[in-house]
Every structure is written in C-alpha cells, then in structure tokens.
Structure 1
Amino acid sequence: MGSNITITSKGQLTIPKDLREQLNVQPGDKCYAWVRNGELVIIPRNKSVRDLAAILGKPPTGALLSDEELDDAVMDAAVERFEKATTRSKRG
C-alpha cells in the first residue's frame, strides 16, 4: 500500500513509519534511487555483504577491497540485478 509523501523546500522527503518498517530501514541506512518511466524508485542498501555475497560470484584474483568498497560493490550488483529483473518482467 502506498503513502503520500511531501518533499521539503530542501528537496528532502520523509519515509512514513509503516514503509520504514516494511523495508526494515533505520536512520543512517543508505538507499539507491533512480527514475524509471517517470517514477522515483528507491531501494534500501541495508543488507550486509554476508547476505548478498552470492550475487557477485567468484572474486577476481588479486583484488583487495575495503569492507565499505565490498559492501558498495555487492549493493551495486544487487541493484543492477533488481533493475534487470524488473525490466524483464515488464516486457512480458
């Protein structure tokens, strides 16, 4: 179920409590957002690397990443996978 959200003069918006609970987001969590077909799509980036590690497959040899870089890479891969899945489902 949707909710009405107001954008402030600073361009900020508040996610209503019921939606925050459904998404399991907390203050300080990061999200990824983009516009698709005139709609704002926001995906929380609150999963740990351990939760999403299988998405990336085998790591490249010799590549050393910080925990933050690894988290970002995993979340980027998750968002890309989600975008591809939603694009395919809309096509038919």
Structure 2
Amino acid sequence: MSERTVSVGSRVGLHARPASLFVQAAARQPVPVTIAKPGGDPVDARSILMVIGLDVRGGDEVVLHADGEGADAALDELVELLATDHDAEVPS
C-alpha cells in the first residue's frame, strides 16, 4: 500500500471547487484512493460528500492511501493537485 502526506494548498481547504477537482481526479485513477486527516478514519476520495465532510481547511495535512498497480503514480498526481492553491486569482 502506498501512502502520501500533503498540506492542502487551497486557502478554503477541501470545500467547493478544490474538493470537486480533487474528487474528479481521484475518480480517474486506476486504483481506489482514500483520504483522511492524520489519525482519522479514511474515506473514499471519489465521494464529494465524504471529502467535504472531513472539514479540511487550508494548510491542514491529509493522508492519502492507494493500493495496486499504479498507486504511486496516482498518489503523486493527487498530491500535486492538493498542494496547489486552486482559489488563487487567475490572471486575465
């Protein structure tokens, strides 16, 4: 089983748009992925309600787990997504 710990880069945490982007990316992975706060119960990373229910705020750490062929690559992609501030102003 592969595991990664990452600090959430979006200022609002895993709510609204950042949560939606994360859940969509998790659903595209070839392996099941779970997400949890350190020491907390893991939830299915493909469920928007479960992810929002974690109440993850900007700067909080989360732990991702995946198992199976392609788990490391899947987690690497998701870690990069979580570390990015998706709420930053987009230049026009």
With the length of structure 2 as denominator, give the TM-score of the two structures. 0.29
Report which of the two has the higher share of helix: 1
More RCO (CA 8 Å, sep 6+): 2
Query: Max radius of gyration: which structure?
Result: 1
